[in-house]
Every structure is written in C-alpha cells, then in structure tokens.
Chains A and B, each alone.
Chain A
C-alpha cells in the first residue's frame, strides 16, 4: 500500500528551537510539495521539488525556513528558529509527472501531516 509518510506526527517545542520535519514520498514519485494548513489561510504551498530540484519556494519565509531533498526518498522541512506563529499542520505531498507529457495534471498524494505547536 503506497503512501506518503511523515514524521513526527506531532511536535511540541519552545520558541527559538529548531524543528525538522521529514517526509518519505511514494516510491517512484518525482515531485514533492510542502504545504502548511492554518485556519485563516487554508493550505498554503511552501515549497515544490521536481526530481529533487527546488522549483518554487516563494511561499516559504526564507529567513527561518529551509526545504531540501537529500535523496529521492527523503524530503525535509526545517524551521530555525521556530516561532509561535509557525504553529500549524504541515503536509507533504508527492506526485509523478512524466516528460514529455508535462501537460497532464496528476494527482498529489498527501501524507498525514505533522502538527507543530510552538510555545
């Protein structure tokens, strides 16, 4: 049963601490997305990778957030230092796009999310 996994599922930390969230995309998928869900904004796109290369991280606060894909089976989202306003649920999603048919839209498969609370 292929699915996106995320760890940890819940994280409580104090302001100023570093937080690292991990995502394992579905094997074979070549796109990875990080989203943040808040009550006010809904699902906000933070970062987007294709074939491990970052294509868009314009939704991410650059001074404290960073996203990487050390290899095809792991994506990380790091917050340093964390602040109370970062409290949210962070979702990772993966999908598959296959050249040359970039003109087809493909479903994104979401992980269960990491609930982050920064005190």
Chain B
C-alpha cells in the first residue's frame, strides 16, 4: 500500500501562471518531505524539501507547503516556465531510528506541462 500518493498523474498550465502540485501521505510518522524533478531519460534531481517543524519553505519560484493535520503537502511554482515541464515526485521519510534515515517513500509522480 502506497504511503505517499500523488493523485494527479498530469497537470497542464500556461506559462507565467501558477502550478500547484499536490501530495498526500498516510504515515503520521513522516517528518521530512522532498520534491524531486525528473526530465525524460534522466534521473530525478532534488528540488526542495521541508521539515515537519515548518509549514512552508521557499526557494525562488518554488514553495512547498505542509499541512500536517491533513497529511498533505503541495508544491507551488510561480511563475511557471516551459523549462519546468517535467515529472515531479514527492517523497517522505520518518526518523524512526538510525536505519530509517534517508529512506524515502516516493509518490507515483505528476507530469507537469507548461505551455508557452
């Protein structure tokens, strides 16, 4: 059973507008969350992260919001650019012991298409 879910397999947005990608999780022990971006024929690359002690983290055009009570996080891209077109994976981890650190559970990904 997937502990991290991205229920929208795809999203299409006009250049310059906001892109909002969503992610839900079921494990209340998760306390660290990341977003990865993946271009075709390449491996995923780290984009932005957030710890459960925060509810927002911003890095340039990218902002991640965390709602712990709803077990929901979202990635906002403003403004969206055609180069942002990629698959976005959300991932989560639980600090349940030394052996669990850096073990991430990934969602199934959302393919973002930013139209010029």
* A interface residue numbers (CB < 8 A to B): 4, 31, 35, 39-45, 48, 50, 55-56, 91, 93, 95, 97, 102-103, 105-113
Are the CB atoms of B46 and A107 closer together than 8 Å?
yes
Interface bits B85-107 vs A (CB < 8 Å: 1, else 0): 00001010101001101111111
Contacts of B93 in A (CB 8 A): 105
B63 sits at the interface (CB 8 A): no
Residue of chain B at shortest CB distance from A101: B101
B101→A41 contact, CB < 8 A: no
Contact A108/B105 with A41-B2, A55-B99, A103-B95 known, Cβ cut-off 8 Å: no
Which residues from A are CB-within-8-Å of B108? 39-43
Given contacts A41-B108, A42-B6, A91-B44, contact A48 B103 (CB under 8 A): yes
User: Which B residues are in CB contact (< 8 Å) with A50?
Assistant: 99
Question: A31-B102, A45-B104, A97-B102 known; 5 other A-B pairs, CB under 8 Å?
Answer: A44-B106, A97-B101, A105-B32, A105-B93, A110-B44
In chain B, positions 50-102 with a C-beta closer than 8 Å to chain A are 51, 89, 91, 93, 95, 98-99, 101-102
Known: A4-B43, A41-B2, A91-B43. A108 touches B101 (CB 8 A): no
Closest to B45 in A: A110
> If the complex has contacts A43-B89, A91-B43, A93-B43, are A108 and B104 also in contact, measured as CB distance less than 8 A?
yes
Task: List A contacts of B36 (CB < 8 A).
Answer: 110
- Least Cβ–Cβ distance between A70 and chain B, in angstroms: 22
How near does chain B come to A91, taking the closest CB pair, in angstroms?
A: 6
Q: Provide the bound-state CA to CA distance between A116 and B14, in Å.
A: 35
Q: Which of the residues A31, A102, A105 comes within 8 Å of B49, measured between beta carbons?
A: A105
The 4 lowest CB-CB distance pairs between A and B, nearest first, are A110-B43, A42-B108, A43-B106, A107-B46
Q: Determine the distance from Cα of A4 to Cα of B44 in the docked complex, in whole angstroms.
A: 12
Whole-angstrom distance from the CB of A107 to the nearest CB of chain B? Answer: 5
A residues near B101, Cβ cutoff 8 Å:
97, 102-103, 105
In the complex the two chains form, is A102's CB within 8 Å of B103's CB? no
Query: Are A102 and B98 touching (Cβ within 8 A)?
Result: yes
| Residue in A40, A42, A106 whose CB lies within 8 Å of B102 | A106
